[in-house]
Amino acid sequence: MLKAGDRAPGFSNPDADMALVELSQFRGKTLVLYFYVRDDTPGCTAEAIEFSELENDFAKLGATVLGVSRDDCIKHGEFRDKHGISVRLLADKEHATSEAYGVLQDKEVDGIMRRSAVRATFIIDKQGIIRHALYGVSSRGHAAEVLHLVALMNKGELN
């Protein structure tokens, strides 16, 4: 698992509109990269809506928010449009980004071991260094907690 102080792994994933998004595009900006399990589930929907509602507040702090799941671009588009989600959602169908960030874990489901995503968020600074690596987070209220961490980080109160 990644931790504060680690260099953020590079990624290149398409968004809901199939535009390629890469970590390098955010050099010089704070990036909030949150991983969620699946589009259109209750917790993931609540989390995406909360991040969207706070998107302008993140922008005022110079931060961009991106959501990542293993759903494809079409499913992301449907999810975004159905719920009015404004943050960009990245498709990780090949699981490379999820693997790089350590958000896939083996879980037993009905007696079968499967790789499942763990809800996690990374706050990446302007130099591409992870300042906060939060694994196993709760979906509700999480966006506000992350906004608070970004605000403190910008004030130099959190390293």
pLDDT tens digit sequence for 56-69: 999 999 999 999 99
Residues 6 or more apart from 151 whose CB is under 8 A from it?
61
This prediction has a pTM of: 0.93
Q: Cβ of 158: how many Cβ atoms within 10 Å?
A: 15
Is residue 155 pLDDT above 90, yes or no? no
Residue 154 — pLDDT band, cuts 50, 70, 90?
A: confident
Q: Residue 158 has what pLDDT?
A: 54
Domain 12-155 has what CATH class? alpha beta
Domains of the chain, by residue range, sit at: 12-155
Q: Could you say which of 31, 32, 33, 44 is catalytic?
A: 44
Output helix, strand, coil percentages for the chain, rounded to the nearest 5. 35, 30, 35
Asked about 73 being catalytic, the answer comes back as no
- Within 8 A by CB and 6+ apart from 46, the residues are 139, 140
